[in-house]
Structure 1
Amino acid sequence: MTRPPDPAPGERPRARVYFALWPAPAAARRLHKEGELAHGLTGGRRMRRDTLHLTLAFIGDIPRERLDELRAAADKVAFSPFTLSLDRIAGWRHNHIVWAGASELPGELESLVTQLNAALAAAGFPVERRKFAAHVTLLRNARGELPAAELDPPVEWPVGDFVLVESDPKPEGAQYTVLESWPGTTGAPG
């Protein structure tokens, strides 16, 4: 008996979603190259260049009817465009992840995350209680240890918007679809 094909993401009754920053091509290429270098030291599964992102708020699996509530919450967020300087690479032993991150977060990023979490909580969505850990996952299932190191030069990532993304888990790795984006505005609180 053959199994029917999985429905396309938009045809499923539920959506697995999150808000994120999505890098411009130049930043994605550089991050992917750093993942390749780290892979030589730790092994594991490299993230595909087209899937690299920085999660702002993970929502999880929700009924598709609630997507408009997420959009309405995101509509309440105002931020100024900024540059994120990713200047560190390290590994987390507890979950075998190698990541790139920033030693200092721009105030605009902190404001964006704070506003987004407040809007999500007001709309009845659960929000992360732990301190925001801005990172881009480069490798999963890393086997060796990667000591923290500086990225020299840092990856300069111009951030002009944030996005709502749907994740479609697959055996070869998740497929991501950007559902909508919200641009930053000059003069927004930061």
Structure 2
Amino acid sequence: MRLFLALIPPPELRRRFGELADTAHSHCGGRRVADDNLHLTLAFLGEQPKHRAEELADWLGGMRLAPGQWRLDRWGHFAEPGIVWIGGAPESGLTRLQHSLREDLEGLGIDARPRRFTPHITLLRRAEHPSGASLPEVALDWSYSRAALILSEPTHQGSRYTPLAWSRA
């Protein structure tokens, strides 16, 4: 089972991210990420056996996150995989959350990635680098309080993400 931990945006913010993905797609091409898959990855756990997924679901279900807010105010591009994203400065609470989760996971024997955390929402894959002038300014605030354990399953239309567990609110 391919798993990761993520923050899932509320529906209205997810729709806004989808609109930005449409705009970016018209300028950069590539493959647009489906609205239902828009998220912030906190830790990629890779392939895990079913019993480990159950352990992780119990672990996360017993956790309460400190609420936080993250300001998304910039576009970005990871050249090698051709990822176009939106993100912002790593707010200290968000950075602490990611670091704490990664340490807890390592204590459970899971080598979680990323080591270097660049908080972002992937909008496009296999896309061209956007020119700064072609994309609109971004200024969105995301209040978060829960994380999800997500199962990633490949399909012919791309990956399908299914939440398996949530932290407590």
The two structures share one fold, judged by TM-score above 0.5: yes
Answer 1 or 2: higher relative contact order, Cα 8 Å, separation at least 6: 2
| Structure 2 counterparts to residues 1-190 of structure 1, below 5 A | 15-74=1-60, 77-102=63-88, 104-128=89-113, 130-142=115-127, 144-148=128-132, 152-184=137-169
What amino acid sits opposite 2:108 in the alignment?
A
CA deviations over 1:62-93 (Å, ceiling 9, x no partner): 11011133235435754321111111112222
Write the distance in 2 (CA, Å) between the matches of 1:183 and 1:105.
Answer: 23
What amino acid sits opposite 2:129 in the alignment?
E
What amino acid sits opposite 1:118 in the alignment?
E
CA deviations over 1:91-135 (Å, ceiling 9, x no partner): 222111101111x22221111111111110001001236311111
Corresponding residue for residue 12 of structure 1: none
Contact kept, 8 Å, 1:87 with 1:101, in 2: the verdict is: yes
Corresponding residue for residue 3 of structure 1: none
Structure 2: unaligned runs, 5 residues or longer: none
Contact kept, 8 Å, 2:40 with 2:120, in 1: the verdict is: yes
The Cα of 1:157 is off from its aligned counterpart by: 1.3
Write the distance in 1 (CA, Å) between the matches of 2:65 and 2:145.
Answer: 9
Write the distance in 2 (CA, Å) between the matches of 1:139 and 1:113.
Answer: 23
- Other structure's SS at 1:183 match: coil
Pair 1:76–1:110, CA change in 2 (3 A): farther
- TM-score (norm. length: structure 1): 0.81
Structure 1 moving runs of 4+ over 4 Å = 75-78, 148-151
Q: Which has the larger radius of gyration?
A: 1
Pair 1:151–1:179, CA change in 2 (3 A): farther
- TM-score (norm. length: structure 2): 0.90
Contact kept, 8 Å, 2:38 with 2:121, in 1: the verdict is: yes
The Cα of 1:172 is off from its aligned counterpart by: 0.7
RMSD: 1.9
Write the distance in 2 (CA, Å) between the matches of 1:55 and 1:173.
Answer: 17
